[in-house]
Structure 1
Amino acid sequence: MSTEPTASAATTASPSGEAVVGVPGQEPERARRRGAGRNLPAAIAVGVGLGAVLMVAVFVLPQAFPVVAAVAMVLAVLELTRALAHGGLELPAVPLLVGVIGMVVTTEVFGAEGLLVSTAAAVCVLILWRVSESMGLSALRDVAGGVFALAWIPFLGCFLLLLFDREQGSMLVLLAILGPVGNDIGGYVAGVLFGKHPMAPRISPKKSWEGFIGSLLMGTAAVTAVGHYALDLPIWVGLVIGAVLVVISTCGDLSQSLLKRDLGIKDMGHLLPGHGGVLDRVDSILLAAPTTYVLLEVLLP
């Protein structure tokens, strides 16, 4: 459990745009290391490796992108299933994983209509599968958890495939990812250098308003630059999309922090050293993909 800053506590910055509450006399650098809670060299190495895999799948071997997306979603669903088990929910893994694959395939073949139909089918199969095992309140809770898992990960994640299938789809996917990436990097730098005022101490005491400003500046700048120079988007469109993506990414981070706090866990998984699990890395991207898709439809119909 975290504590809110008091008059006698010292507040220092930490990575990811976060502020760390320490004790008087504690060295700022030590407080930052304690607040970071991760292996920074490993985190950088894993981040670079993931970025390289993504760039190859998007720009060099585009046929591999749906496969990479499907693998990431399957791993994320497995992590969420294990995490929700800490809260007493028993999500049936088989229909969930079959649903993920089915949603990816139908989205790739039939587009948005295929995603809607396959999502509805996956929910129906999930309900029948769980109810066939047992009835009662526990079954209702498990079904609700399963629908949440399908809606959060494969449904939102498949919007990356919808973006990818559009004209200049590779750059659109990059646009959607740059918002969360700029949010993380900008927040990290600004939080380490200037972070003093916690943003949501009861949910994520490490996040600071100074870090959020850094996220807003870097995320918006990155999205605007790519949008204008690579996609010929008006600058104002890039500014709007970038700012919205940063806000959405921050909300996604806080929401997952709240969920993990309720479940009593630190990370959704441990597959990626320095990052936690796959879901810890893609949570903001899952929200950024449909946001980018909708904003493009609204701003540039």
Structure 2
Amino acid sequence: MADQQQAPGPRVRVRGKERKNPTPKAGRNLPAATAVGLAMLFAVLGGLLFMPLAFVLIVTVFAIFGVWEVFRALEASGTRLPIIPAMTGTVAMPLAAYFGGPESLLFALLLSSVAVLLWRSLEGAAGSARSIYAGVFTLAWVPFLISFAVLPLHASGGVTPIGPWPGGVVPVGAWQIGTLLLLVVSNDTFGYLVGASLGKHPMAPKISPKKSWEGFGGSIAGAVLVGVLASIFVLGQPWWFGAALAVGMVAAATAGDLAESMVKRELGIKDMGNGLPGHGGVMDRLDSIVFASPVAFMIFSAGAGG
């Protein structure tokens, strides 16, 4: 999630002349970040609308890289989680959610947690408690939560083993996921724009000092606008459903971003990785989505039930 308050970048001197540094103070190269973000968004939406199993595999790949980054960060701090059972569970959970629904997802989390416990128990007692806690925490944080982004496909009965959607008809679950992603991007974009220009009051200075209440307000305003339009023209729901969904997404995305910031501060690192130019690591992009996905699924389920 983008920082919601950024001062203009520092000036540097080149051959006796002063020019503006293209990278803002927060360390984010905005052109690179925009290009990478759009490329990922188009890849995800392309799979979602035209090749659903490809979308599930993309989600799985993101989860794998996210878990690997957490593993490396924890290892650098002296905690080594059992990576083999953790990665096995990471691959299994999105597929379980797609083909089996919520019950299968919960069962996959349970089996993965037991596998972590047994695997680590066989390696000896030294440091086992921290290792097991770290493994179960990582499974619940990354692959379990992000798998909720797949559940609407199963809930709407749109599951197809391979190939495009049968008859070329995109199910409502796919449009729900697309709306979720659009709202997370809107939260990020509007929060960054408003916070960068107007942000003066930090939300949580001890956790993420660059996030401001002004940026948070910009996120809500922009996301509500996008949510209302998406609700009416994409989901076929009343306008107030889109407004409620948008507020829920902004709250969840902000909580996810702050939660990852707390983890990074505890580990003494700035980014979880450096694989995405302008973004840091994969987890620095997933932090909002992993919290927003279960909230969106619950809101969509409540809306369908109503």
**Counterpart secondary structure, 1:206:** strand
Equivalent residue pairs, number: 281
> Which of 17, 40, 62 is equivalent to 2:4?
17
Q: Which runs of 5+ in 2 are unaligned?
A: 11-18, 157-170
Task: State the AA in 1 paired with 2:46.
Answer: V
**Counterpart secondary structure, 1:272:** coil
Task: State the AA in 2 paired with 1:122.
Answer: S
CA distance in 1 between counterparts of 2:34 and 2:80 reads: 34
> Which of 150, 153, 165 is equivalent to 1:161?
150
CA RMSD for the aligned pairs?
2.1
8 Å Cα contact 1:177/1:288 also seen in 2? no
8 Å Cα contact 2:113/2:136 also seen in 1? yes
8 Å Cα contact 1:74/1:97 also seen in 2? yes
Task: Give how far 1:241 is off.
Answer: 1.0
Task: Give how far 1:76 is off.
Answer: 0.6
8 Å Cα contact 1:220/1:246 also seen in 2? no
**Counterpart secondary structure, 1:133:** coil
Q: Which residues of 2 match residues 1-301 of structure 1 at below 5 A?
A: 16-20=3-7, 34-136=24-126, 138-165=127-154, 166=156, 167-301=171-305
Moved more, 197-206 or 120-129: 197-206
Q: Could you list the structure 1 runs, at least 4 aligned residues long, displaced by more than 6 angstroms after superposition.
A: 29-32
Q: Which residue of 2 aligns with 1:6?
A: none
Q: Deviations for 1:143-167, whole angstroms, at most 9, x for unmatched residues?
A: 0111011101111111111112324
CA distance in 2 between counterparts of 1:63 and 1:52 reads: 16
CA distance in 1 between counterparts of 2:105 and 2:262 reads: 28
CA distance in 2 between counterparts of 1:105 and 1:245 reads: 24
**Counterpart secondary structure, 1:202:** coil
8 Å Cα contact 1:19/1:198 also seen in 2? no
8 Å Cα contact 1:196/1:210 also seen in 2? yes
8 Å Cα contact 1:32/1:192 also seen in 2? no
Q: Deviations for 1:82-136, whole angstroms, at most 9, x for unmatched residues?
A: 1122332101111111111122222222111111111111111110001100114
Task: State the AA in 1 paired with 2:254.
Answer: T
8 Å Cα contact 2:255/2:291 also seen in 1? no
Structure 1 residues 110 and 241: CA distance shift in structure 2, 3 A: same
Structure 1 residues 229 and 34: CA distance shift in structure 2, 3 A: closer
8 Å Cα contact 1:163/1:172 also seen in 2? yes
Q: Which runs of 5+ in 1 are unaligned?
A: 1-14, 24-28
**Counterpart secondary structure, 2:55:** helix
8 Å Cα contact 1:80/1:268 also seen in 2? yes
8 Å Cα contact 1:20/1:206 also seen in 2? no
**Counterpart secondary structure, 1:35:** coil
Task: Give how far 1:179 is off.
Answer: 2.4
Structure 1 residues 92 and 154: CA distance shift in structure 2, 3 A: same
CA distance in 2 between counterparts of 1:22 and 1:205 reads: 16
Structure 1 residues 59 and 41: CA distance shift in structure 2, 3 A: same
Q: Deviations for 1:45-95, whole angstroms, at most 9, x for unmatched residues?
A: 111111111121111222311111111111111011111223321011111
Q: Which residue of 1 aligns with 2:14?
A: none
